Amino acid sequence: MSFKPLGDRVLVNPLAKEEMSKGGIVLPDTVKEKPQEGKVIAVGVGKFDDGTLVPMEVKVGQTVMFSKYGPTEIKVDGEEMYVLSESDILGVIE
Amino acid sequence: MSFKPLGDRVLVNPLAKEEMSKGGIVLPDTVKEKPQEGKVIAVGVGKFDDGTLVPMEVKVGQTVMFSKYGPTEIKVDGEEMYVLSESDILGVIE
Amino acid sequence: MSFKPLGDRVLVNPLAKEEMSKGGIVLPDTVKEKPQEGKVIAVGVGKFDDGTLVPMEVKVGQTVMFSKYGPTEIKVDGEEMYVLSESDILGVIE
Amino acid sequence: MSFKPLGDRVLVNPLAKEEMSKGGIVLPDTVKEKPQEGKVIAVGVGKFDDGTLVPMEVKVGQTVMFSKYGPTEIKVDGEEMYVLSESDILGVIE
Amino acid sequence: MSFKPLGDRVLVNPLAKEEMSKGGIVLPDTVKEKPQEGKVIAVGVGKFDDGTLVPMEVKVGQTVMFSKYGPTEIKVDGEEMYVLSESDILGVIE
Amino acid sequence: MSFKPLGDRVLVNPLAKEEMSKGGIVLPDTVKEKPQEGKVIAVGVGKFDDGTLVPMEVKVGQTVMFSKYGPTEIKVDGEEMYVLSESDILGVIE
Amino acid sequence: MSFKPLGDRVLVNPLAKEEMSKGGIVLPDTVKEKPQEGKVIAVGVGKFDDGTLVPMEVKVGQTVMFSKYGPTEIKVDGEEMYVLSESDILGVIE
C7-17: per-residue pLDDT in tens? 999 999 998 76
Partner-chain contact G6 A67, CB within 8 Å: no
Mutate to test the interface with D, among E66, E90, E93 (most CBs of D within 10 A): E90
In this predicted model, what pLDDT tens digit does every residue of A6-26 receive, in sequence order? Answer: 999 999 999 876 666 666 666
Neighbours of chain F (3+ CB pairs under 8 A): E, G
The reply to whether E4 falls in a domain is no
As a whole number, the mean pLDDT across chain B is: 85
Q: Are E27 and E17 in contact (CB under 8 A)?
A: no
Question: What is the number of CB-based contacts under 8 A between chain E and chain F?
Answer: 71
Partner-chain contact C74 D22, CB within 8 Å: no
The reply to whether F72 falls in a domain is yes
Domain count, chain A: 1
Selecting from C42, C48, C74 the residue whose C-beta is nearest the C-beta of D26 gives C74
**G80 to chain A: which residues are within 8 Å by CB?**
26
Residue D10 to residue D59: CA distance in whole angstroms: 9
* D47: phi then psi, degrees, rounded to nearest 5: -115, 150
Considering only the C-alpha atoms of chain D, give the largest distance between any 2 of them, rounded to a whole number of Å.
45
Please check the confidence at residue G14 and state whether its pLDDT lies above 50.
yes
Please check the confidence at residue E32 and state whether its pLDDT lies above 60.
no
Residue F3 to residue D1: CA distance in whole angstroms: 53
Q: Is B67 helix (H, G, I), strand (E, B) or coil?
A: coil
Residue A1 to residue F33: CA distance in whole angstroms: 66
Selecting from D1, D50, D78 the residue whose C-beta is nearest the C-beta of E93 gives D1
The reply to whether F58 falls in a domain is yes
Give the angle subtended at the CA of B21 by the CAs of B19 and B27, to the nearest 5°.
100
In this predicted model, what pLDDT tens digit does every residue of A56-92 receive, in sequence order? Answer: 999 999 999 998 777 899 988 888 999 999 999 999 9
The reply to whether A4 falls in a domain is no
Please check the confidence at residue E60 and state whether its pLDDT lies above 90.
yes
Please, which pLDDT band fits residue G26 given cuts at 50, 70 and 90? Answer: low
Partner-chain contact F1 G22, CB within 8 Å: yes
Selecting from A1, A6, A51 the residue whose C-beta is nearest the C-beta of B52 gives A51
SS3 letters for G10-45? EEEEECCHHHCCCCEECCCCCCCCCCCEEEEEEECC
Residue C52 to residue C55: CA distance in whole angstroms: 9
The reply to whether E22 falls in a domain is yes
Given this model, what pLDDT does residue B67 score? 83
> Measured between alpha carbons, how far apart are the two ends of chain F, in Å?
29
Amino acid making up residue G71: P
Residues of chain C with pLDDT under 70: 17-35
Please, which pLDDT band fits residue E22 given cuts at 50, 70 and 90? Answer: low
Selecting from C48, C72, C76 the residue whose C-beta is nearest the C-beta of D23 gives C76
**Structural domain containing residue F89:** 9-93
Q: Give residue F53's Cα distance to chain centre.
A: 20
- Secondary structure element (H or E) that encloses residue D25, with its range: strand D24-25
Considering only the C-alpha atoms of chain A, give the largest distance between any 2 of them, rounded to a whole number of Å.
45
Partner-chain contact C26 B75, CB within 8 Å: yes
Question: What is the number of CB-based contacts under 8 A between chain C and chain D?
Answer: 71
The reply to whether C1 falls in a domain is no
The reply to whether A61 falls in a domain is yes
The reply to whether D2 falls in a domain is no
Contact map slice: F 3-62 vs G, CB within 8 A = 3-7, 9, 11, 42, 44-45, 48-51
Among chain D residues, CA nearest to C84: D90
CATH of the domain at A32: 2.30.33.40
In this predicted model, what pLDDT tens digit does every residue of A26-55 receive, in sequence order? Answer: 655 444 445 589 999 999 999 998 888 999
